[in-house]
Amino acid sequence: MAEIRYEHVSKAFDSNTVVNDLDLRIDDGELMVLVGPSGCGKTTALRMLAGLEEVSSGQIVIDEQVVNDLEPRDRDVAMVFQNYALYPHLSVYQNMAFGLRLHHKPRAEIDRRVREAARVLQLEELLQRKPKQLSGGQRQRVAMGRAIVRQPRVFLMDEPLSNLDAKLRAQMRAQIARLQRDLGVTMLYVTHDQVEAMTLGHRVAVMRLGVLQQVAPPQELYRRPVNLFVASFIGSPTMNVVEAELHRESDGLRARFGSHDIRIDPGLAASRPALERYDGRRVVLGVRPQNTEDAALVDTGDTDSMIDATVELREDLGPEVDVHVGIDAPAPALEAVIEATESADTTGEAGVAGRPEGIFVARLGAGTEAREGRQVKLWLDPRALHFFDPDSGVAIYE
């Protein structure tokens, strides 16, 4: 059992800084997910903890012990690799026993532990097989088994499910969560898949370009993203953003974008006192597709929260309908914003292609009558609006 701390950890390859001043604490028994688009430094951060990559500066602490100069073999960690890295010349049993043999465990104990892990992972029938004779899902479980039998202080998972198909991935996700809970072991889990991150993590750490953006439980990450990048990266489809101008009227703060002018819920405004400072100034306004609805399906006369739009594309999902609509409002032309939405879009699992300017995605109830080419009146939930500083991209809260 272990607590892990990254203290001002940086990693540079030549002049290229891959991880920049990472400060992160993983509590004993916690499942921490490190998520971000490819090239954000998450895998490097994990590999530094494993000892496969040297730390350029700062220190990594496991249980109050600085491990910077320890070999991987002396760190008492186990790792599941993206491609599993099973030893092809060894049987399933030997694969799982390999680490224990190297640690000179007694034969009987090795056998007991391997069989126990095989039972938990339903590998008992496969113990004599070679990796080549296994399916993708079975290989994945052997890789897990090889980590479990070691009974390490820390579990490291490097995108362990990315080579599985969607259905198997969901199954294994549940199994990993169960195993982690049952073993109570500290786990650092790296993925680019925000769905995996949200469903698995006790807390989720979002990284971008080597810099840690936010560490928070999934719900908080979703509801209170600290900046535009996190807001865009977490959640699918990606959050809609427009450039808006705040202004105060007698009924409270309102946001004007294009020909639209919506009211901000007074409760929301009260919980975001910093918004006052933006009165009369530009902000980036964000609305998640899930916080929109076809006005015809909303039981409210709240016309202050409605905007007119033209449906360009309708995607039936079954229980819901996604519509891509054109709205009369400029997209924020800021570099940081574009970059944030693009990197989220290209790596997000939902496969949302880069969103063209002036296009809003709304997730509507199945009863909507929005059709391509027609007008639709959209209701934007006034209590679920997000605001960001247009220059820094930082979310506006207190």
Partner 1 sequence: MSGERTQTGRKRPRRRGRFLPYILLSPLVLFIGALALYPTIVTTVQAFFTVDPVNPPTRFAGLANFRALIHNPFVRQSAVNTALYIVVGVGLSTLFGLVIALVLQRRSRWRGVVLALVVLPWALPGVVEAVIWGWIYDATFGVLNSVLKSTGLIGSYHVWIGIGRVVSIVLIELVQVWQVTPLAALLILAALQSIPQEIYEAARVDGAGSWEKFRRITLPLVRPGLAVAMVESLILSLNVFDQVYVLNGFAPGGASIMLQTYQISFNNLNFGQGYALSLLATFATMLLSLLILAVVYRRVEF
Partner 2 sequence: MRGRSGLRRGGRALLIALILVWSAFPVYWALNTSMTTLNGAQSVPAHFVPSPFTAHNYGTLLNQTGGGVGNQFWRSFLNATIESGLATVLTVAIALFAAYAFARLEFRGKRIILVAVLATLLLPVYATLIPLYRIMSSVHLVNTYLGIILVYTSGFLPLAIWIMYNYFASVPRELEEAAFVDGATPVVALWRVMIPVSGPGIAATSIIVFLMGWAQFIFPLVLSSDLATQPVTVMVAALYGQRIVPFTLLNAIGVLAAALPGVIALVLNRYIVQGVMAGSIK
List residues near partner 2 by CB under 8 A: 50-52, 71-73, 77-79, 81-83, 85-89, 98-99, 102-103, 146, 150, 156
Q: What is the Cα–Cα distance from 234 to 217, expressed in whole angstroms?
A: 12
Smallest distance from partner 1 to CB 210, Å: 17
Quote the least distance from Cβ 56 to partner 1, whole Å. 6
Q: What does 58 interact with, of partner 1, partner 2, none (CB < 5 to 8 A by kind)?
A: partner 1
H or E element in which residue 144 lies: helix 136-148
For partner 2, give the closer residue by CB, 35 or 143: 143
Q: Least distance from C-beta 182 to partner 2, angstroms?
A: 22
Distance from C-alpha of 271 to C-alpha of 282, rounded to nearest angstrom: 19
For partner 2, the closer of residues 49 and 221 by Cβ is 49
Shorter beta-carbon distance to partner 2: residue 160 or 332: 160
Residue 136 or 330: which CB sits closer to partner 2?
136
> Which of the choices partner 1, partner 2, none does residue 87 contact, using the CB cut-off of 5 to 8 A by kind?
partner 2
Quote the CA–CA distance of 7 and 186 in Å, as a whole number.
Answer: 18
Distance, CA of 370 to CA of 378 (rounded, Å): 10
Q: Residue 69 CB, nearest distance to partner 1 (Å)?
A: 6
Beta bridge mates, 249: 252
Contact partner, 55, from partner 1, partner 2, none, Cβ < 5-8 Å per class: partner 1
In the bound state with partner 2, the residue whose beta carbon lies nearer, of 104 and 167, is 104
Name every residue whose Cβ is closer than 8 Å to that of residue 80 and which is 6 or more positions away in sequence.
143, 144, 146, 147, 155, 156, 157, 158, 160
* Partner interacting with residue 9 (select from partner 2, partner 1, none; CB below 5-8 Å by kind): none
Q: Bridge-partner residues for 388, per DSSP?
A: 284, 395
Picked from partner 2, partner 1, none, the partner binding residue 23 (CB below 5 to 8 A depending on kind) is none
Query: Which are the contacts of 352, defined by CB distance < 8 A and separation ≥ 6?
Result: 236, 237, 238, 345, 361
Q: How far apart are alpha carbons 127 and 118 in whole angstroms? A: 8
Binding site residues, partner 1, CB under 8 A: 8, 51, 54-59, 68-69, 71
Taking Cα atoms as reference points, which of 322, 310, 307 lies closest to residue 368?
Answer: 322
**Nearer to partner 2 among residue 29 and residue 99 (C-beta):** 99
Residue 113 has phi, psi (to 5 degrees) of: -70, -45
Closest CB 62 distance from partner 2, rounded Å: 14
Shortest Å distance, C-beta 280 to partner 1? 44
